[in-house]
A = this chain, B = another copy of it.
Amino acid sequence: MRLTQYTDYSLRVLIYLALQPDRRCSIQEIADKYEISKNHLMKVVRQLSSAGFVDSVRGVRGGLRLAVDPAEINLAAVIEEMEPDFGMVECLRADNQCVITGPCKLQSMLRQATQAFLDVMREQTLADLLGPQERERLEMILIS
């Protein structure tokens, strides 16, 4: 059971930006610090921006910063925005061809379990990832 790399990277971008509220950051810089591909981050940042989590400005004085306070960014909302689907099994996906889809109760059970997963994440915001101790240690790794 996995989230996509896309969602994983989006959470890393938000953490990075939350550490630096006073300046705009570049995608290249985020890619460098996390040692991940800039190309992968481009699409991630575009969606974070269109979803209202990130404020993105083009140009020489441009760059990225959080569009709202970290305490306003709910982690379940980020996951729900960034995951392509919650198709735990075939019958929960658009291209479903499972022959027992009608009478099989797995669909409703797995929907309920997925909600329980999201409900746990819904209790957390980006700010909860960044207590004083975590912030200090994250800054040592990412900002130097």
Contact = CB atoms under 8 A, between A and B. Distances in A.
Number of copies: 2
Interface residues of A, number: 52
Contact of A120 (B86, B97, B112): B112
A120 B129 contact: no
Interface string A22-34: 0000000000011
B141 A99 contact: yes
Interface majority SS (helix, strand, loop, mixed), chain A: helix
Interface of A: 1-5, 7-8, 11-12, 15, 33-35, 75, 79, 83, 85-90, 97-100, 102-106, 109-110, 112-114, 116-121, 124, 128-129, 131, 133-134, 137-138, 141-142
